Amino acid sequence: MLLDPATVSATELYRFLTCAVVPRPIAWVSTRAADGTPNLAPFSYFTPLSSAPPLVGFAIQDREGDPKDTLRNIRETGEFVVNVVSEPLLEAMVTCAGDWPRGTSEFGPAGLTPAPAERVGAPRVLESPLQLECRLHREVPLGNCVFVIGEIVAVRADDALLTDGRVDPLKLRPVGRLGGELYAPLREVTSMPRPRVSRATGERTG
């Protein structure tokens, strides 16, 4: 098939891209409104961006022309926490993506506990094994989305996730997003060392 973005609707393109660019990590973003109400929602247009400074970014689509609660709260407070969705938290994460009215804390229907973060006022998800605490670095408007870039000011990980001082993905058990209602828990993991090449000669040395 050949798909010409100029001839298909934004919805069709969305469906195509979310099935083609897979699996995607999920930023489960907790925020706090100016009145203190906690909010929690998943975003899979998500990626790390740089390590110095440590930046992550995720894109929030508008909701019929209005900002979603996550974006409103980040604008009000300048802070958010990215919580990792581990396999036991899949159903709770999806519960948070319901069209809950503004002012509802999704922590309640999802059966989760908002806990104080170390360096930001936004709550973290107590049940999540790893969190990135972020301050708003920049907002980038992108058509029907706003790309939110956050600077990580603290990382919290359960000690049980570590192997030789590093986060072990097999212990983290993250869930990726596929298209539609499909998700990808981590199953088989493969190791593949990179070739060693002499930059001067282009020859392989190992």
Ligand X SMILES: Cc1cc2nc3c(=O)[nH]c(=O)nc-3n(C[C@H](O)[C@H](O)[C@H](O)COP(=O)(O)O)c2cc1C
What's the closest the beta carbon of residue 8 comes to ligand X, in angstroms? Answer: 20
Q: Taking CB under 6 A as the rule, which mask of x and - marks residues 7-46 in contact with ligand X?
A: -------------------x------------x-xxxxx-
What's the closest the beta carbon of residue 12 comes to ligand X, in angstroms? Answer: 17
What's the closest the beta carbon of residue 136 comes to ligand X, in angstroms? Answer: 15
DSSP label of 169: H
Q: Which is nearer to ligand X, 41 or 190 (CB)?
A: 41
Please, where are the H alpha helices in the chain? 10-20, 69-77, 90-95, 107-110, 169-172
- The set of residues, in sequence order, having a beta carbon less than 8 Å from that of 50 and lying 6+ positions away, is none
DSSP label of 97: T
108/6 Cα distance (integer angstroms):
42
| Residue ranges in 71-100 that form contacts with ligand X under rule CB under 6 A | 94, 97, 99
5/16 Cα distance (integer angstroms):
10
68 binds ligand X (CB under 6 A): yes
Q: Which is nearer to ligand X, 103 or 116 (CB)?
A: 103
Chain residues in the site for ligand X (CB under 6 A)? 26, 39, 41-45, 59-61, 68-70, 94, 97, 99, 177
